[in-house]
């Protein structure tokens, strides 16, 4: 398994500003992921962040809006840029251990409210 921490745990931001969310894993992993979860909904994958390469974005998500960094095998950041109230959501990072069967381990989430 992997233990994952996220910062901040929650934030309230003004429209038009940006927020960077940090994700730290307690072991080295190749694959990390960023998800969005709107209230009462399932998870929507934003992008896959692999160390040493550009993040791979899912349909409907673009790098200009959600830039991602992956500087090493234990850390990643997601920035939510030029925020609007529609970006209010929970943002979750996850990591897939090198061994295993495709399971991912999740951080506690960042609860973002945009006013």
Partner 1 sequence: GNSVTQMEGPVTLSEEAFLTINCTYTATGYPSLFWYVQYPGEGLQLLLKATKADDKGSNKGFEATYRKETTSFHLEKGSVQVSDSAVYFCALSEDSGYSTLTFGKGTMLLVSP
Asked if 28 touches partner 1 (CB under 8 A), the answer is: no
In SS3 terms, the chain reads as CCCEEEECCEEEECCCCCEEEEEEECCCCCEEEEEEECCCCCEEEEEEEECCCCCEECCCCCCCCCCEEEEECCEEEEEECCCCHHHCEEEEEEEECCCCCCCCEECCCEEEEEC
Q: Which is nearer to partner 1, 60 or 102 (CB)?
A: 102
For partner 1, how many residues bind (rule: CB under 8 A)?
Answer: 20
Candidate list 13, 45, 57, 61; residue touching partner 1; CB under 8 A: 45
Q: Which is nearer to partner 1, 35 or 80 (CB)?
A: 35
Asked if 102 touches partner 1 (CB under 8 A), the answer is: yes
Asked if 57 touches partner 1 (CB under 8 A), the answer is: no
Binding site for partner 1 (CB under 8 A): 1, 4, 31, 33, 41-43, 45, 48, 92, 94, 101-109
């Amino acid at each position: 398994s992997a233990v994952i921490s996220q910062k901040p745990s929650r934030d309230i931001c003004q429209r038009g500003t940006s927020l960077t969310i940090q994700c730290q894993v307690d072991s080295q992993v190749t694959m990390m992921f960023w998800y969005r979860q709107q209230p009462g909904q399932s998870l929507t994958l934003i992008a896959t962040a692999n160390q040493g390469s550009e993040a791979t974005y899912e349909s409907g998500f673009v790098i200009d809006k959600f830039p991602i960094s992956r500087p090493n095998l234990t850390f990643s950041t997601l920035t939510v840029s030029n925020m609007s109230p529609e970006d209010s959501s929970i943002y979750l990072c996850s990591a897939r251990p090198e061994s295993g069967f495709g399971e991912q381990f999740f951080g506690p989430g960042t609860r973002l409210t945009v006013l």
